[in-house]
Amino acid sequence: MRALAGVGAVALVTVVVPASAQTASRARAELEQGYELRSRGSYVEALPHLLESYRLEPHLKTLINMADCEEHVGKFVDAMAHWSAAREQAAREGAAEIQKEAERRVGDLRSRTPRLKVVVRPDAPPGTVVDEDGTRIAESVLGALTPTDPGRHVLVVRADGHEEATYEVILKAEETRELVVRPGAEIGRASPQPEQTRASPLRVVGLAVLGVGVVSLGVGTYFGLEAISKKNAAHCPDNTCDLQNGGDPDRLRAAMVAGRWSTVFFVSGGVLGAAGATLLLLAPRANAGPRIGTSLQRGGGRLVVEAAW
Which residue, 123, 136, 139, 138, is CA-closest to 183?
123
Sorting pLDDT into bands at 50, 70 and 90, what band is 246?
low
Sorting pLDDT into bands at 50, 70 and 90, what band is 82?
very high
Read off the pLDDT of residues 193-230 as tens digits, 9 standing for 90 and up. 555 555 577 777 767 877 777 787 777 787 777 768 77
Sorting pLDDT into bands at 50, 70 and 90, what band is 14?
very low
Whether the pLDDT of residue 289 is over 90: the answer is no
For residues 70-77, average pLDDT = 96
The class level of CATH for 2-111 reads: mainly alpha
At residue 247, the pLDDT reads 64
* pTM, 2 dp: 0.54
Q: Give the CATH superfamily of 115-181.
A: Carboxypeptidase-like, regulatory domain (2.60.40.1120)
The residue type found at 282 is L
Whether the pLDDT of residue 130 is over 50: the answer is yes
Sorting pLDDT into bands at 50, 70 and 90, what band is 234?
low
CA distance readout (Å), 87 to 57, 76, 82, 104, 197: 17, 16, 9, 10, 72
For residues 271-283, average pLDDT = 73
At residue 243, the pLDDT reads 63
Cross-strand pairs, 94: none
Q: Which residue has the higher pLDDT, 97 or 203?
A: 97
Whether the pLDDT of residue 269 is over 90: the answer is no
Q: Which residue has the higher pLDDT, 274 or 34?
A: 34
**DSSP letter, residue 186:** B
The residue type found at 112 is R
Whether the pLDDT of residue 37 is over 90: the answer is yes
Sorting pLDDT into bands at 50, 70 and 90, what band is 244?
low
